[in-house]
Structure 1
Amino acid sequence: MRIAVMGMGVAGSYLMARLEGSGHDVTGYERNPQERHDSICAWGTIKPVLKGFCTKVGRDFDDFLIHDGKSMHVRMNNGVKFDIGLRGLCTYDKLALIKDFIKDSKVEYGRAPELKELEEKYDMIVDCTGFARKYLPKLKEDFFLPTYEYKVEYEDGVPYDDFYIEPFPGMTGYFWYFPLGEKWAHVGAGDYHKNHIKATDAFIKKHGGKVLATKGRPIRLATPDRCKPYYSGKVVGVGESIGTVYALLGEGIIPSMQCVEIFLENMDDFEAYEKAVERHYAVYGKVFNFVRSKIHGKFSMIKSLPDFLSIFRYMKKHEERFGMDIRMGDLIKVAKA
């Protein structure tokens, strides 16, 4: 087939690498010029899981590893502090890995052709444009958080030796500090009530540091069950374009790469792909309901108990996937925040 992969982010670049040598005629499109091709949002992921994905395409994840986390420091808005033991949560050079995934692929930079042009040229168009969802029908109702982030350099010592987060009141988002080696960090936040820039600037004012780069974009929290259709005509969505972000953590790297694998198993049958996506991301809807009820001030532990227990059991069962110790007490602290 002649296949167009639209958007060279996490999902699009990994899909390009997986399709290398497949026998298909694949072309990638990136709307930014090559010199401005970038990766927005913090570079946090789970090392053993990314190692597995990289092995599938002949890459060594250790070549891109920056910081191997041991503990995540958490400070709640009510002053409660605790640490979460980590099992593989790390930071890595996300942009370098994306570029490595597509280094041997045919990619047209600085182009985002209209759908009509693509339909005339290709048998399949894969929408990996993330939040933009440029080639799929628009969602009837979306749900997202604005985010903002600095890359900061600390000449006189970093403020934290490991990961640090501060959930906002009502769980409307959180502030993050992700270490990037000996003297750099990603410092940012996302917040439904749009206090993310204020919180980020307050941290910079308190701890200092030289701001090297500033980035910001919305992140979709609407889950796959709310992001249909997954396909329309020749177009099929993969990754954040169909809602593959784990709303409780705002994490989309691994879910998007998992979505690539689901797509590859079902790329000849879009209906089967839809069903496989629904099965794999079924718990995401419960996570979204939990987060949205907190944000809107409608959370009730009694009413939400079945979903709350389902979320805990899912995360506990997949501790290695989430890269951290999952404890009921910690989730309750978050729920009560």
Structure 2
Amino acid sequence: MGMGVAGSYLMARLKDSEHDVTGYELKSEETHDSICAWGTIKPVLTEFCKKTGRNFDDFLIHDGKSMHVKMNDNVKFDIGLHGMCTYDKLALIKDFIKDSKIIYGNPPKKEELEKEYDMIVDCTGFHRVYLPKMKEDFFLPTYEYKVEYENGVPYDDFYIEPFPGMSGYFWYFPLGEKWAHIGAGDYNKNHIKATDAFLKKHGGKVLKTKGRPIRLATPDRCKPYYSGKVVGVGESIGTVYALLGEGIIPSMQCVDIFIENMHDFAAYEKAIEKHYKVYAKVFNFVRAKIHKDFNFLKALPDFLAIFRYMKKNEDRFGMDIRIADLLKVAKA
């Protein structure tokens, strides 16, 4: 249920299996779209694509070299990139499902699905349509434009502006020689204001407007992962890395974990808890900053755990991980 990043990749992985799989998508085939910026890490997506017989280079748009960061007028720095890129996210999603049975528009209710299918996989993202309601959610509203620049792009590579108190950030993601995604997510709801201010300053023709909430509540806060015949995969169970607001790779990792454990939901839950354990530390760190309940000495153990995790997985994050850069963000 839901043909986004997780649902489409899962369809591609299961297509040639012993299972009879049907995909459902709320939107029509013509309006089916992919919300949020198209940034990811090339080597990681290359491996995911290989598992489905696809070449990620066919979807690659921009191979990043440096991310420009502006904390304020006095604090600006660059982060070296090694694999961070933009890609045609929607084209890959559509390619993942092109040979699968997909039913578009107004998917059936849970009761109807339970009569027809042995298993219902909830990949409906933030909406979590088929799983029980969470006790407490935590999310950011986001807003984005796809912009065309006829007279030259304002930046030749990735550019971000974290908001004060780590409440979110503005992003500029290049999409080739004259296009970009510009947008922001902000707990304090300044995301539209920041995006419009950048548009006014740098100009450009708006081609598309998108907006949606993104769940930052991590898997430990998104239980139950399953109920009856329904099991959640991807953002429906909180697979977003809260420090970056990144959900593409974590959601695809979740698909792989699900496939390994799809016949044992209890084993799936344990595997999810293990894989995303550090995400809870990241979430607690970010939430404390947002709620202005942050004490650096108190948060130091989590800060160091986050740094060690990201440093150890530099290739997965596609960037130079330096403790000085993390400190600049933490002290914002």
Provide the C-alpha distance between the structure 2 equivalents of 1:261 and 1:21, rounded to a whole number of angstroms.
15
Provide the C-alpha distance between the structure 2 equivalents of 1:137 and 1:207, rounded to a whole number of angstroms.
44
1:54 maps to which of 46, 49, 53:
49
The two structures have a TM-score, normalised by structure 2, of 1.00
User: 1:7–1:30: 8 Å Cα contact kept in structure 2?
Assistant: yes
Residue equivalent to 2:308: 313
Q: Secondary structure at the match of 1:74?
A: strand
Provide the C-alpha distance between the structure 2 equivalents of 1:194 and 1:93, rounded to a whole number of angstroms.
28
User: 1:75–1:81: 8 Å Cα contact kept in structure 2?
Assistant: yes
Whichever residue aligns with residue 207 of structure 2, its letter is L
1:251 maps to which of 237, 246, 254:
246
User: 1:14–1:260: 8 Å Cα contact kept in structure 2?
Assistant: yes
Provide the C-alpha distance between the structure 1 equivalents of 2:241 and 2:107, rounded to a whole number of angstroms.
27
1:150 maps to which of 131, 138, 145:
145
User: 1:77–1:168: 8 Å Cα contact kept in structure 2?
Assistant: no
Matches within 5 A, 1:10-29: 10-29=5-24
Matched, 1:325 2:320: yes
Matches within 5 A, 1:101-180: 101-180=96-175
Provide the C-alpha distance between the structure 1 equivalents of 2:123 and 2:186, rounded to a whole number of angstroms.
24
Residue equivalent to 1:267: 262
> CA offset at residue 311 of structure 1?
0.2
> Alpha-carbon deviations, 1:96-134, whole Å to 9, x = none?
000000000000011321000000000000000000000
Aligned length: 332
Residue equivalent to 1:39: 34
Matches within 5 A, 1:187-202: 187-202=182-197
> CA offset at residue 23 of structure 1?
1.2
Residue equivalent to 1:67: 62
Structure 2 unmatched runs, 5+ = none
Provide the C-alpha distance between the structure 2 equivalents of 1:130 and 1:201, rounded to a whole number of angstroms.
26
Q: Secondary structure at the match of 2:103?
A: strand
Aligned-residue RMSD, C-alpha: 0.5
> CA offset at residue 78 of structure 1?
5.9
User: 1:154–1:208: 8 Å Cα contact kept in structure 2?
Assistant: yes
> CA offset at residue 77 of structure 1?
3.2
> Alpha-carbon deviations, 1:283-302, whole Å to 9, x = none?
00000000000001111110
User: 1:176–1:187: 8 Å Cα contact kept in structure 2?
Assistant: yes
> CA offset at residue 79 of structure 1?
3.0
1:231 maps to which of 222, 226, 238:
226
Q: Secondary structure at the match of 1:8?
A: coil
Provide the C-alpha distance between the structure 2 equivalents of 1:121 and 1:317, rounded to a whole number of angstroms.
45
Q: Secondary structure at the match of 1:299?
A: coil
> Alpha-carbon deviations, 1:298-334, whole Å to 9, x = none?
1111000100000000000000000000000000000
User: 1:77–1:169: 8 Å Cα contact kept in structure 2?
Assistant: no
Whichever residue aligns with residue 175 of structure 2, its letter is L
The two structures have a TM-score, normalised by structure 1, of 0.98
> CA offset at residue 144 of structure 1?
0.1
Provide the C-alpha distance between the structure 1 equivalents of 2:259 and 2:47, rounded to a whole number of angstroms.
16
- What is the identity percentage for the equivalent residue pairs of Structure 1 and Structure 2? 83
Provide the C-alpha distance between the structure 2 equivalents of 1:294 and 1:112, rounded to a whole number of angstroms.
39
Q: Secondary structure at the match of 2:209?
A: strand
Whichever residue aligns with residue 292 of structure 2, its letter is G
User: 1:177–1:185: 8 Å Cα contact kept in structure 2?
Assistant: yes
Provide the C-alpha distance between the structure 2 equivalents of 1:301 and 1:77, rounded to a whole number of angstroms.
20
Structure 1 unmatched runs, 5+ = 1-5
Provide the C-alpha distance between the structure 1 equivalents of 2:97 and 2:212, rounded to a whole number of angstroms.
23
Provide the C-alpha distance between the structure 2 equivalents of 1:79 and 1:192, rounded to a whole number of angstroms.
24
Residue equivalent to 1:209: 204
Provide the C-alpha distance between the structure 1 equivalents of 2:27 and 2:329, rounded to a whole number of angstroms.
38
> Alpha-carbon deviations, 1:231-283, whole Å to 9, x = none?
00000000000000000000000000000000000000000000000000000
2:236 maps to which of 232, 238, 241:
241
